[in-house]
Chain A
Amino acid sequence: MRGRALGIGTRAGAALLTVGVLAWLPQYYGATDTALFAKAIYIAIAALGLNLLTGYNGQVSIGHGAFFGFGAYATAILMNDHGWDFLATLPVVAVASFVVGAAVGFPALRVKGLYLALITLGLAALFPDLVTKYVHGTGGTTLVQPPLPTSPGWAQGFAPNDDQWRYYLALTIGIVMFILAWNLVRGRFGRALLAVRDHDAAASTIGIDLARIKVGSFAISALYAGIAGSVGVMVTGLANAGRVETFQLSINFLVAVVIGGTATVLGPVVGAWTFVFLERATQDLFPDQALLSPAIFGVALILLLFALPDGIVGGARRTGRFARRKLQARRAPRAPDFPSPIREDRQ
C-alpha cells in the first residue's frame, strides 16, 4: 500500500502538525480530559499491535486484554513491590510479553480462524482467575496500585502537573511504538504478513517461513498489548483484572482496529481515539439514563461500521481516491502539471 497521492513533504508536515496538536492538548484541557486522551493513547498502542496480527496477518484474537493485563501487573508489581522506576519496567514487560505471546501463538501453526479466536477467548477468561488466585494486592483485592511517576524538575516548564507529565510519557511511548509498527509493516516482514494472510500455502512456496511469521506476529502483538498495559497502569494508577474488564478490553482493541481501518498503519490510532470519544460521548449523552449508554454505543458502532465498512482510514482513502479521479477527469485534456507521484491504487 505505498500508493499515496500525498508527497513526502505533505506527509511529514501532517505528522508534525498531529504531534504538535497532541502535545498541546494537556496544556489546554484539564486533568479529566487529559486522562481520557492518555487512555486513547494506550488503547491505540494495543490496537497497533493487534492490527499487525489481525489486520495484516488475518489471525483474530479476542484475548489481547489478557496480554494487556499481564503487562499492567508486571509493571505494577515491579514498581510497587520492588521499587522499580516506571520506564525501567518497560523492557522487561516487552520481553516477557513477547515470550508469553509466542507461547500462546504457538497453536496458531495448526489451529486457524475461529478456533484460534476461541483459544484466545479462553486466555481472556482464564487470566482474571489466575490473578485472583495469585495476586494479593491492596486490601487483599487484586488491585495493585504502584506509586506513579511525578513530573521532574526540568519538566516544570511544560508539565507542571503530574497528569500532564504522565500524558507526555504515554505520548512519547506511543510515538515510538507507532514508528516501530510503521517500519515493520513497510519492510519485508509486513509483506510477509500480508502474503501469509492472503494465502499461506503460496507464501510458503516463495520461501516465507510460516511458523516464524505466524508465531512472530502473535508475539509482537502481545508485546504491544503488554506495553499498553504498562502505560495504562501509569495513567490510571492501578492494575486490575476482572473477567468483564479483560474481555471488554480485548473487544475494545478489536473495535479500535476495525473502526480505524484494518491493515492500515494509521487505522488503529484513529480507531482508538474515535472509540474512546464515542464511548465517552454516549456515556454523557443522557446522564440520568446510564442504563441506556451501552445501547447507544452499540448502535453508534453499528452505524459507523455501516457508513465506513473499511474503517475511517480506509474510508478516507476511498474518498481521497474518488476526489482525485474526479479532479483528474476534469483536468484530463491537459497534461499533468505536477510531478506524478507513484500511484498504484489506480486499478
Chain B
Amino acid sequence: MSNTRTRGQHRPIPFLTVLVTTIALVAASCSGGGRSSSSSPGSGSTSTKGGIVDASNCPGSETEGVSGTTIKLGTSLPQSGLYSAFTEILKGESAYFSYLNQELGGVEVDGKKYTIDLVAKDDAYQADRTVANVTALVNDDKVFALFNVVGTKNNLAIRDFVNRQCVPNLFAATGSPAWGDVKYPWVLGSELVPYPLEAKALFDYLEKNSPSAKVAILRASDDFGRAYSETFRSLIKGSKITIAKEETYNPEQSDTKSQVTSLAATNADVLLLGATLLACPDALQNVKASGWKPMTYMSGTCTSKTLMALAGDAADGVMSVTDIMEPGLAAWADEPAMKLYLDKIAKYAPDADAENGIVAYGWTTGALLAETLHRSPSLTRQAVMETARTLKASDVGLLMPGVTLSVSAKDWFLGEMFSLAQYRTALGHFELVGSVLDFSGHTAKITPPDLIGG
C-alpha cells in the first residue's frame, strides 16, 4: 500500500478514514499481527476504533490534555546526574515547539490550530523515577501524550502503564528492538535506527566488500550490546564471515583498554563496536594505541561530533549509520531545513550547541511529532496513535533527503532507511558512503525473537 500524500497537503479526512479502515481489515485478516487483547475475528471496523490501536477498553477521556487551543505533552529524561548530557535533546525539541507555537501559530489538527505545551520531568536516567514521573504526568498533569522519553529501560518500565491507560508514548528515544512487541501498540520508537539493523547494514557491507572477514566484537554487557552481537551472529550463519572473539565492557564504566588488547591479539579484520557514549572514543583510542588496524564499525548512537572529536585521529575512517543530516557538514549547508534549524536554534535555544547531534535529534523528533499530530484526523489519543502507527513521512526536521520513515500494521519500526557514513578526522565530519539504504520491514525479520519479546 502506498501513501500518495505528500507533506504540505493537509486535508482529506475521508482518505485517512479509508486508509485506516483498510489497514484495520488487513490487520484483522492476517491475525499474525496478533494483539493479546481478544477481539473476535471478523469484527471488522468501520469506525476509527479497532484499527491497529484498539481503544475500546481504555479508561479516561480520549481528549485528555487538550484544552482550548493547547495540547499538553509530557516527557521524562535525565536532566541531572551522570547522564545529564541528554538534556540537550530537550533543548532541541523545545526550540522546535517554540518555533512552531510562535512563528507558525501552532500545529493544525482537523482544521484547528493548537499550540504545544511540553511538560518535562527529570528522571536522572533511573527507571523507577521515570515511572513516578509518568504516573504524575498522566494522573496529575493530565497530558495528552508522552513524547520522546529517553532510555530503553525507562520506556520499558512505563510500557504496561501507558498501554493500560491508552496514552500514546510517541517516539521513545531508543533504538531497542523491544518496540516491535505487538502486545504494546501504544509505544512507538523514534527515528533512531533500530540497533539490529545496524548489524544488518554491516553484514551486507562485508558480504559485498570482504566476504570472508574475521570480526571481533566489543559490546556493552547489557541488552544494548546484545542487540548488536546476537543479531550479527545470527546473520553470519551460512556465510564465510567468522567471529574472532567477543569482549564486553561494563556500560557504567566505559573503560575498554584490556578488552581491546584482548581483541587486538586476534588481529581480526573488522571490529564491531556495540558501544555507546564515552566507550566509543575510548575504544577507538585504545585500538589506535594497540597498533591494530581493523575496519571499525561503530554504533549509530555514537555518531556525534562531540564524541568523535574526543577520539581525535583514532576516529578516522570509522564507519557508522545515520538518517539525520549532520549540522555543520558542508554538504547540507544549503538545505533549507538545515538553514531553518540553525536559525531557530540560535533564536530559541541560544545556549545549545547547534552542531551537537542530539540537539538536531531533538529538533527532528519535535518536527516528527508535529507532523503526526497534523496528519491525525481528529485530536483523540486513539486517532493520533493510529496515525503514528501508519506514518509515512519524509522531509521532516533534519531527516536526510531520500529517507522516508514508515510504519504500518506489519512493520513497527520507524528508522529503517539510513545511510552508511564514515568519519573523516581531517574534515571533522561524517561523509556518507553510498546511497540511502532501505530496510523497510526488515527489523522484525532479522532480530532474534528474544530481543523483541519480553
Give the interface of A toward B (CB within 8 A): 30-32, 35-36, 128-129, 132-133, 136-143, 145, 236-238, 240, 242-245, 283, 287, 290-294
Question: Which 6 A-B residue pairings sit nearest by Cβ, starting from the closest?
Answer: A139-B178, A290-B122, A290-B79, A140-B223, A243-B252, A32-B136
Secondary structure at the B interface, as helix, strand, loop or mixed, is helix
Q: Which of A31, A243, A244, A293 contacts B139 (CB 8 A)?
A: A31
Which of A30, A32, A139, A237 lies in contact with B152, CB distance below 8 A?
A139
A294 touches B81 (CB 8 A): yes
Nearest CB of A to B198, in Å: 16
Known: A132-B221, A138-B178. A240 touches B153 (CB 8 A): yes
Beyond the given A30-B140, A240-B126, A291-B87, please list 15 additional residue pairs across the A-B interface where CB-CB is below 8 A: A136-B450, A138-B159, A139-B156, A139-B181, A139-B452, A139-B454, A140-B176, A140-B226, A145-B157, A240-B128, A240-B157, A244-B252, A283-B122, A292-B80, A294-B80
Contact partner, A129, options B121, B156, B159, B250, Cβ 8 Å: B250
A92 and B210 CA atoms in complex are apart in Å by 55
Q: How far is the CB of B192 from chain A (nearest CB, A)?
A: 15
State which residues 188-247 of B face A: CB under 8 Å. 221-223, 226-227
Q: Write the nearest CB–CB distance from A18 to chain B, whole angstroms.
A: 25
B131 within 8 A of A: yes
Contacts of B371-396 to chain A: CB distance below 8 A = none
Alpha-carbon distance between A306 and B122 when the two chains are bound, in angstroms: 29
Contacts of B427 in A (CB 8 A): none
Residues of B within 8 A of A140 (CB): 176, 178, 223, 226-227, 450-451
Known A31-B139, A132-B222, A140-B178; contact A238-B157, beta-carbon cutoff 8 A:
yes
Complex: how many Å from CA A18 to CA B157? 33
* B330: A residues at CB distance < 8 A: none
A10 to B348, CA, bound (A): 61
**Are A143 and B84 closer than 8 Å at their CB atoms?**
no
A238 to B129, CA, bound (A): 11
Chain B residues near A136: list those with CB within 8 A. 450
Cβ-defined contact, A290 with B131, below 8 A = no
Q: A139-B223, A140-B223, A291-B84 are in contact. Are A32 and B160 (CB under 8 A)?
A: no
Question: Taking CB as reference atom, which chain B residue is nearest A288?
Answer: B120
Asked if A141 and B222 make an inter-chain contact with CB atoms under 8 angstroms apart, the answer reads yes
A-B contact pairs, 13 of them (CB 8 A): A30-B140, A129-B221, A136-B450, A138-B159, A139-B176, A139-B178, A141-B156, A143-B127, A145-B157, A238-B127, A287-B121, A291-B79, A291-B80
A32 near B132 (CB under 8 angstroms)? Answer: yes
Interface pair A237/B250, CB less than 8 Å apart: no
- Name the residue on A nearest B176 (C-beta): A139
A154 to B233, CA, bound (A): 53
Chain B residues near A137: list those with CB within 8 A. 454
Asked if B82 CB lies within 8 Å of chain A CBs, one says: yes
B79 touches A242 (CB 8 A): no
**Does the CB pair A32–B222 fall under 8 Å?**
no
Task: Verify if B135 is at the interface (C-beta below 8 Å from A).
Answer: yes
Taking CB as reference atom, which chain A residue is nearest B126?
Answer: A245
Q: Once bound together, how far apart are the Cα atoms of A139 and B223, in whole Å?
A: 8
Query: Is there contact, CB below 8 Å, between B252 and A242?
Result: yes
Q: Considering residues B132, B140, B451, which has the most beta carbons from chain A within 10 angstroms of its beta carbon? A: B132
Closest B residue to A30 using CB positions: B139
When chains A and B are docked, how far (Å) is the Cα of A9 from the Cα of B128? 41
Task: Point out the residue from A35, A141, A244, A294 that lies within 8 Å of B153, measured CB to CB.
Answer: A141
B223 and chain A: residue at smallest CB distance: A140
A242 to B87, CA, bound (A): 20
Least CB separation from A243: chain B residue = B252
Smallest beta-carbon distance A177→chain B, Å: 21
Q: Kindly provide the distance from the CB of B337 to the nearest chain A CB, expressed in whole angstroms.
A: 29
Beta-carbon nearest neighbor of B77 in chain A: A290
By beta carbon, the residue of chain A nearest B252 is A243
Which chain A residues border B132 with CB–CB below 8 Å? Answer: 32, 35-36, 236
Q: How far is the CA of A142 from the CA of B251 in the complex (A)?
A: 13
Question: A124 to chain B: closest CB distance in Å?
Answer: 12
Residues of B with C-beta under 8 A to A293: 80, 122
Q: Is the CB of A244 within 8 A of B82?
A: yes
Residue of B with least CB distance to A291: B80
Collect the chain B residues with CB atoms within 8 Å of residue A283's CB. 122
Q: How far is the CA of A234 from the CA of B126 in the complex (A)?
A: 17
